[in-house]
């Protein structure tokens, strides 16, 4: 029996038109069976469609969308399935390290929009499933209590973002489910056609387990956060190079705030049912967060990784980032040391040191929370993508954020102390990191 998706794609192949590609039919089929189980005939036809790309004429954004979608849809049969294709990152068009530095000031609004759309879409799926309005990913639906937690944590992510987007005035209801509906409506009403299409095309789960939808959207939101951080850190480095301490502190404070605001994403992720995660995870072999290009950009922009880490699987998994490091990519550590060596007024030294310490503590807490959640979900199992799983995370969670550290605005005294080892509030965390600490607590008490 010929499926609707195969029939529509067959018709398109007979008369290919860039503007009429049957995205909806293809996505429905992927959602119906899961990417890991797509029929060979549909994969063959998608591969044929890809060969036609050079001959298709139309606006570049539409060419890019189709090319990116096919790149994501065909990653498994191409045997190049990995973390970026699993998350369909090419369809989300995140800020990148080759973007002009002048765009650093505009990266926050751009990433705010994307984070709002990703989280709102995750909540919209939960609402639709609870209302019986969707048959998408029907297996292992969570109970009402877990879904209620997802509403609450999702709203914690959305509120500050919607405030900056001036979309929070309509959140008038008291209950989390009703507030989630209002937030989803506000975000959707503000989206362009291209943004709505990107949301629809960027969710291709490997199986039909309900919780994989949440998993994908949360990981995409984290990738967006780290893309923002890498952009801000590049801005801070450029500012220090020009002796502009105020601007460098602005970017560091913005990076710290963005990382703190991402904390409730861990709490959302902690509501995943362990059995559900382990069920769909067996089909994600080859895709691992160790392949996160944006996280490695942040790490390598803070300070130069030591030779052992550069020559480890962590950086071999992101070859373009590794090449940037080996080519002499400037780090915040180096830019700060150069500025201090040229002579800086004491108030500027103190402010810069405080901003670096605060950011480093928050990133250290993020790593710790990530590790705790991985332990809960994976135990001692090996990671996907041929990594060592939680033992790997345990080994790297204490890597220094900055190697040329600052303490009270002065260079470190050479004892190797990390910026996140001083001035804590008694629980091992600077007060600025409370939002991330709350997420850490949530991963430990989650069901």
Residues 13 and 49 in one domain: yes
State the residue range of the domain holding 23.
4-80
Q: Over 50: is that where the pLDDT of 430 sits? A: no
Instruction: Give domain status of residue 162, yes or no.
Output: yes
| Last-in-domain residue among 80, 112, 141 | 80
Q: Are residues 137 and 71 in the same domain?
A: no
Asked if residue 96 belongs to a domain, the reply is no
229 and 105 share one domain: yes
What digits encode the pLDDT tens for the residues 215-249? Answer: 999 999 999 999 999 999 999 999 999 999 999 99
Residue 43 sits in the same domain as residue 162: no
What is the pLDDT, as a whole number, of residue 442?
54
- Mean pLDDT of all residues in 389-399: 65
Q: For residue 92, tell me if it sits in a domain.
A: no
Tens digit of each residue's pLDDT (9 = 90 or more) over 65-123? 999 999 999 999 999 999 999 999 999 989 999 999 888 889 999 999 999 999 999 99
State the sign of the Cα–Cα–Cα–Cα dihedral 199, 222, 83, 384. Answer: negative
> What are the contacts of 174-181 at 24+ separation with CB within 8 A?
176/148, 176/151, 176/152, 177/127, 177/130, 177/148, 177/151, 179/151, 179/155, 180/123, 180/126, 180/127, 180/151, 180/154, 180/155, 181/127
Query: Could you give the CA distance from residue 438 to residue 433 in angstroms, rounded to a whole number?
Result: 9
> Does residue 335 share a domain with residue 225?
yes
pLDDT score of 342: 84
Q: What is the pLDDT of residue 396?
A: 67
| Of 324-328, 346-350, 424-428, minimum mean pLDDT range | 424-428
Q: Which of 46, 80, 114 is the last residue of a domain?
A: 80
**How many residues would you count in the chain?**
447
What does the pLDDT read at residue 392?
61
- Taking the C-alpha atoms of residue 61 and residue 211, their distance in angstroms, rounded to an integer, is 31
Q: Residue 409: is its pLDDT beyond 50?
A: no
39 half-sphere exposure, CB direction, 13 A CA radius? 14
Of the residues 36, 51, 80, the one at which a domain ends: 80
377 and 219 Cβ atoms separated by less than 8 Å: no
DSSP H or E segment with residue 313: helix 313-316
Residues 208 and 345 in one domain: yes
pLDDT, position 441: 58
| Residue 274 belongs to some domain of the structure | yes
* Location of structure tokens 């601007």: 247
Q: Token pair of 237, please?
A: 């480095």
Task: Mention every residue, 6+ apart, whose C-beta is less than 8 A from residue 257.
Answer: none
pLDDT at 332 over 80: yes
Question: What percentage of the chain exceeds 90 in pLDDT?
Answer: 73
In the predicted model, is pLDDT for residue 252 greater than 50?
Answer: yes
Q: Give the pLDDT of residue 344.
A: 86
Radius of gyration of the chain (CA): 22
Residues 271 and 389 in one domain: yes
CB burial readout 376-385, b (16+ within 10 A) else e: bbbeeeebbb
* For residues 153-173, average pLDDT: 93
Calculate helix-pair angle for 346-378, 274-281, nearest 10 degrees: 80
- Residues 56 and 184 reside in one and the same domain: no
In this structure, is residue 265 part of a structural domain? yes
Mean pLDDT of the region 330-338: 93
Mean pLDDT of 286-303: 92
> 210, 158, 160: which is closest to 179 by C-alpha?
158
Q: Residue 289 — very low, low, confident or very high, per pLDDT cuts 50/70/90?
A: confident
Report d(CA 37, CA 367) in Å as an integer.
Answer: 34
Beta carbons within 8 Å of 444's beta carbon, 6+ residues apart: 372, 376
Measure the CA–CA gap between 306 and 303, rounded to whole angstroms: 9
Residues 254 and 308 in one domain: yes
Instruction: State the pLDDT at residue 278.
Output: 93
Reported in sequence order, the residue ranges of 302-361 that DSSP labels E, i.e. its strands, are none
Query: Residue 315's domain is classified under what CATH number?
Result: 1.20.58.480
Main-chain dihedrals φ then ψ at residue 142, nearest 5 degrees: -75, 160
Instruction: At 258, list the tokens.
Output: 């963005």
Q: pLDDT at residue 345 above 80?
A: yes
- CB-based contact 133:269 (threshold 8 Å): no
Q: How many independent structural domains does the chain possess? A: 2
Q: Give the whole-angstrom CA distance, residue 82 versus residue 387.
A: 12
Range of weakest confidence among 9-13, 181-185, 241-245, 342-346: 342-346
Residue 390 lies in a domain: yes
């Amino acid at each position: 029996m010929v499926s609707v998706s195969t029939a529509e794609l067959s018709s398109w192949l007979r008369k290919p038109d860039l503007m009429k590609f049957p995205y909806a039919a293809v996505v429905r089929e992927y959602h119906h069976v899961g990417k890991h189980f797509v029929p060979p005939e549909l994969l063959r036809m998608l591969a044929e469609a890809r060969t036609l790309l050079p001959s298709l004429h139309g606006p570049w954004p539409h060419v890019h969308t189709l090319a990116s979608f096919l790149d994501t849809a065909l990653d498994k049969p191409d045997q190049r399935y990995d973390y970026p294709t699993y998350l369909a990152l090419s369809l989300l068009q995140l800020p990148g390290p080759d973007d002009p530095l002048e765009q650093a000031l505009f990266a926050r609004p751009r990433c705010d929009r994307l984070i709002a759309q990703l989280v709102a879409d995750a909540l919209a799926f939960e609402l639709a499933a609870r209302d019986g309005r969707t048959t998408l990913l029907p297996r292992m639906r969570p109970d009402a209590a877990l879904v209620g937690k997802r509403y609450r944590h999702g709203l914690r992510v959305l509120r500050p973002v919607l405030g900056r987007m001036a979309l929070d005035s309509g959140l008038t209801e008291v209950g989390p489910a009703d507030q989630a509906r209002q937030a989803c409506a506000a975000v959707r009403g503000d989206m362009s056609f291209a943004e709505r299409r990107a949301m629809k095309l960027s969710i291709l789960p490997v199986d039909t387990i309900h919780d994989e939808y949440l998993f994908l959207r949360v990981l995409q939101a984290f990738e967006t956060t780290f893309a923002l951080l890498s952009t801000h850190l590049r801005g801070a480095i450029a500012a220090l190079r020009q002796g502009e301490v105020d601007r460098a502190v602005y970017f560091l404070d913005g990076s710290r705030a963005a990382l703190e605001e991402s904390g409730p994403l861990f709490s959302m992720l902690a509501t995943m049912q362990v059995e559900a995660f382990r069920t769909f995870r067996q089909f994600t072999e080859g895709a691992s967060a160790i392949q996160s290009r944006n996280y490695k950009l942040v790490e390598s922009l803070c300070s130069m990784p030591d030779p052992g880490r550069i020559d480890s699987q962590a950086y071999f998994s992101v070859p373009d980032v590794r090449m940037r490091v080996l080519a002499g990519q400037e780090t915040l550590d180096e830019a700060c040391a150069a500025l201090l060596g040229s002579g800086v007024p004491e108030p500027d030294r103190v402010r810069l040191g405080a901003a670096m310490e605060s950011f480093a503590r928050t990133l250290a807490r993020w790593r710790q929370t990530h590790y705790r959640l991985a332990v809960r979900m994976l135990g001692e199992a090996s990671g996907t993508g041929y990594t060592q799983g939680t033992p790997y995370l345990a080994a790297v969670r204490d890597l220094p954020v900055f190697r040329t550290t600052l303490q009270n605005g002065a260079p470190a005294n050479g004892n190797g102390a990390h910026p996140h080892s001083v001035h804590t509030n008694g629980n091992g965390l600077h007060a600025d990191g409370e939002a991330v600490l709350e997420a850490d607590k949530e991963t430990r008490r989650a069901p």
